[in-house]
């Protein structure tokens, strides 16, 4: 894969610096920013899988830590959705100022509680063009879901019964283009054989449909 930008990056936000990994294929015109769940990081195995799949199809990705190592030691920070939303908002604005990302459209991929901050940020930033949630908690953003204009895909495992019910409730509140896909035989972490591959394909097809990808 030929790239025009592939580096470990430092994202300065307020008084902290967040670590990330930015990969932009040579002709990419879309970058997907990942918002991971509580207790996870840019090294999330599942998010790395999705990012690699997208990179191979000419889509840029930014995986970054929403918290510093020190902040992550304080357990309540992991569920401070307002803080995580602010971090994602600021990281997105940092990305938009980067010369290598010029003229790229932006989408979000949120997992678990990270989907809540992704949707909250999408409600703030109209330039966010599409959102995909994997095993997410959109219910934690339910008060702002009616402001989300970006086409939103909710992916939930059929065995993840509690989260599935929460997604169904949140789905009713979303006003724009939306879809809820249930992956049969998948639990919350999509650990079952073949289930993450389905997530990768679903996410790519959603971004392909709504982000006007250049696929060469």
pTM above 0.85, yes or no: yes
Model confidence pLDDT, tens digit, residues 181-212: 999 999 999 999 999 999 999 999 999 999 98
Q: What DSSP string describes 19-65?
A: EEEEEEETT--EEEEEE--TT--TT-HHHHHHHHHHHTTT-EEEEE-
Q: Helix (H, G, I), strand (E, B), or coil: what is residue 188?
A: coil
The first and second tokens of residue 137, run together, are 């908690």
Could you give phi then psi for residue 123, rounded to 5 degrees? -70, -25
Model confidence pLDDT, tens digit, residues 102-148: 999 999 999 999 999 999 999 999 999 999 999 999 999 999 999 99
Beta bridge partners of 3: 25
Nearest residue to 139 (alpha-carbon basis) of 175, 161, 155, 115: 115
Q: What is the pLDDT of residue 72?
A: 82
Q: Helix (H, G, I), strand (E, B), or coil: what is residue 176?
A: coil
Query: What is the Cα–Cα distance from 209 to 132, expressed in whole angstroms?
Result: 12
Query: What is the Cα–Cα distance from 119 to 113, expressed in whole angstroms?
Result: 10
CATH numbers and ranges of domains, the chain: 3-210 (3.40.50.1820)
The first and second tokens of residue 44, run together, are 């999330």
Model confidence pLDDT, tens digit, residues 60-101: 999 999 998 888 888 787 889 999 999 999 999 999 999 999
Are 54 and 207 in contact by the 8 Å Cβ rule? The answer is yes
């Amino acid at each position: 894969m030929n790239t025009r930008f592939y580096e470990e990056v430092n994202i300065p936000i307020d008084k902290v610096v967040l670590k990330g990994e930015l990969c932009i294929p040579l002709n990419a015109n879309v970058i997907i920013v990942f918002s991971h769940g509580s207790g996870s990081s840019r090294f999330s195995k599942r998010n790395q899988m999705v990012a690699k799949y997208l990179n191979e199809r000419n889509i840029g990705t930014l995986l970054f830590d929403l918290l510093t190592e020190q902040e992550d030691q304080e357990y309540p920070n992991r569920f401070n959705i307002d803080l995580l939303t602010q971090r994602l908002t600021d990281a997105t604005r940092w990305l938009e100022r980067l010369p290598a990302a010029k003229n790229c459209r932006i989408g979000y991929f949120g997992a678990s509680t990270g989907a809540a901050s992704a949707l909250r940020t999408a409600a703030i930033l109209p330039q966010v063009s599409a959102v995909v949630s994997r095993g997410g908690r959109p219910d934690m953003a339910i008060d702002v879901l009616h402001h989300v204009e970006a086409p939103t895909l909710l992916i939930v495992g059929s065995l993840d019964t509690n989260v599935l019910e929460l997604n169904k409730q949140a789905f009713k509140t979303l006003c724009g283009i939306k879809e809820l896909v249930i992956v049969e035989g998948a639990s919350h972490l999509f650990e079952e054989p073949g289930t993450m591959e389905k997530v990768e394909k679903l996410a790519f097809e959603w971004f392909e449909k709504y982000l006007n990808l250049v696929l060469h």
